[in-house]
Structure 1
Amino acid sequence: MSKTTIAYVNLSLAMVLVGSSVVAGKIMVMELPVFLASGLRFILALAILVPVVLLREGGLPRISRRSWLMMGVQSLCGSFLFTVFLLYGLTMTGPASAGIVTSTTPACMGIMAWLFLGDRPSRKTGLGIVLSVLGVAVINLVQSGGGVGSNPVPGNLLVLGAVVFESLFLLIRKTVPEPLSPLAVSTIISLFGLLWFLPMGAVEALQTDFTAITATGWLVVAYYGAAVTVLAYVFWFAGITRVPPSTAGVFTAVMPVSALVLSALVLGEPIGWQQLTGCACVLGGIVLISR
């Protein structure tokens, strides 16, 4: 298996896990406050990452002040703002609707890569993006009544804001020149993530009745920390350094497909032929790019 193919697999796995955060987040915000839940997620992630990076790499590498700054900004966008906008959006809209909104990520990321990194997509990559966005449009034609949510318009706008921050998060790694390992990057991002959530998380902890949190709530927090944070970060950072940003952007289309499928499997939301057609277009765009 070539290095490029391995990168494609890593990017796909990362987006499957990020897509699952839509469903996991919907369950999590029903039991825990947003900042507290996110702070606990990063504490768990660091409890996994720090010992591993110490054993395998002897600690964190030395990087420039500019790289520390860029990674702090990256964590602010992806770990903090993406999470806050997504989780608060999920309190007002359904997970299926949120999954559909996140489908704009490929187009958003492709445009940002072109504007800020000068990565003009090739004709084949552009066609893959168009096909992915077409799939998004097809999925967006149907909104299931049970999945709309109590206040869907502002909820969906918050999720759209999360898409913008996620796109910035996924691209900023390209601005750090040091050859950092995926494990080291994931650890640094998680350290910053905990710092961003710690102040408000501590305030919410003082106001929370921990005895009222069910076993399901704790399991979802554990999943968010171990899978959505540790594994998704490692997979994404292992893949993003080996492909152009516009190509990586196409793979973010896996995220809404994952969210839609898991919304049906875990939360029982219906999926019709329109959603299946949209998913097929999204996957077709990825196949077009990866050939």
Structure 2
Amino acid sequence: MKQLTGPICLFLAFTLAGTGVLSARYLSGKLGIFTITTVSLFFALLFLLPFCLKALPGSLSGLSKREKVQLFAQSFFGMFLFRLFLLLGLLHTSAGEAGLLTGATPAITAILAAVFLKERINRQKATGILSTVAGILLIQGLTAGADFNKAHFLGNILVLCAACCESIFNILSRSFVKKTVTADGTRLTPLVQTAVVSTITMALCLIPSALENPVARLSILTHSDWFALMWYGVFVTVLAFICWYAGIRRCSAITAAAFSGMMPFTSLLLSVLLLGEQAGFRQWSGGFLVIIGIVIIALKERL
């Protein structure tokens, strides 16, 4: 069971992250991009800090300047730029399409892991990754002569930029947790790491959000809007990142690449169930391939 802890954490992390596309789509146009991030992270920290506030000083004191820079880089790519590109992209494309385009993450992460972390891609992992990527291509309609949605070209490019940022974050996280220790000799806990990354990102967004007329916009939000903000903060940020950091400690970046296929699949599923978007046999077949790829990787982690 211990061998499955990492894969289970990664599965939960990317499933929760997939719900973030819908939350972001729901809030898109109602609030400024930086306001959405700032307020959602406020809810995240409000939930998170009571559990890790005492551990923060001791944990951070054991970090070198280089490791603190690495934490900043995780914040910049994994939250700030990822959410910036995603929210901008959602102004021009649908939630389902945006979620599916994040499916570029597995392939990008696998390539970066092989190049920068020197991780080996054995036959079973390669099969799992190929199954995941093939499923995502099938979902997106890039196979069988299906037409790509050119009307949303700008939004699609922005979402692909978000996928690249997510992949860079994956590599930075894996590199960081392999080396980082705190003052008492233990690794930085997922709770503390999530709190630090969230705080840095919120600080980056404060000034830009002040220029988006946040008070007036926030004053007219409905209860559903506030729920979406809280969900984006507590579930998509806190719980997803805690699961992510717990999983990446136990699994390689290439393994994480396969599990990141759950993000577009979850987005597709919820877009159909909650937003009324349509999906045909090709999309569900692609989703099945994504799940198969993840199962292959999970079995490899267990063996």
Q: Distance in 1 between matches of 2:166 and 2:151?
A: 23
**Structure 2 residue runs without a partner (length 5+):** 181-186
Q: Distance in 2 between matches of 1:280 and 1:256?
A: 12
Q: Check whether the contact 1:20–1:262 (CA below 8 A) recurs between aligned residues.
A: yes
**Structure 1 residue runs without a partner (length 5+):** none
Aligned match for 1:277, one of 285, 291, 294: 285
Aligned residues: 285
Moved over 6 A (4+): none
Q: Distance in 2 between matches of 1:192 and 1:180?
A: 16
Could you tell me which amino acid in structure 1 is paired with residue 110 of structure 2? Answer: G
User: Which string of whole-angstrom CA distances, capped at 9 and with x for unpartnered residues, describes residues 202-255 of structure 1?
Assistant: 222457333322221111001000000000000000000111111111100111
Q: Check whether the contact 2:56–2:192 (CA below 8 A) recurs between aligned residues.
A: no
- 2:39 is the alignment partner of 1:36: no
Offset at residue 191 of structure 1 (A): 1.0
TM-score, with structure 2 as normaliser: 0.90
The 5 Å alignment of 1:1-291 reads 1-2=1-2, 4-54=3-53, 57=55, 59=57, 61=59, 62=61, 63-141=63-141, 151-176=151-176, 177-178=179-180, 179-205=187-213, 208-291=216-299
Q: Percent identity?
A: 33
**Helix, strand or coil: the match of 1:220?**
helix
Identify if the C-alpha distance between structure 1 residues 221 and 261 changes in structure 2 by more than 3 Å, giving closer, same or farther. Answer: same
Q: Check whether the contact 1:70–1:175 (CA below 8 A) recurs between aligned residues.
A: no
Q: Check whether the contact 1:39–1:201 (CA below 8 A) recurs between aligned residues.
A: yes
Q: Distance in 1 between matches of 2:123 and 2:150?
A: 41
Q: Check whether the contact 1:36–1:204 (CA below 8 A) recurs between aligned residues.
A: yes
Q: Check whether the contact 2:88–2:155 (CA below 8 A) recurs between aligned residues.
A: yes
Offset at residue 54 of structure 1 (A): 2.4
**Helix, strand or coil: the match of 1:96?**
helix
Q: Distance in 2 between matches of 1:79 and 1:280?
A: 29
Q: Distance in 2 between matches of 1:93 and 1:48?
A: 31
Q: Check whether the contact 1:142–1:274 (CA below 8 A) recurs between aligned residues.
A: no
Q: Distance in 1 between matches of 2:97 and 2:28?
A: 16
Q: Check whether the contact 1:53–1:60 (CA below 8 A) recurs between aligned residues.
A: no
Root-mean-square deviation over aligned CA pairs = 1.8
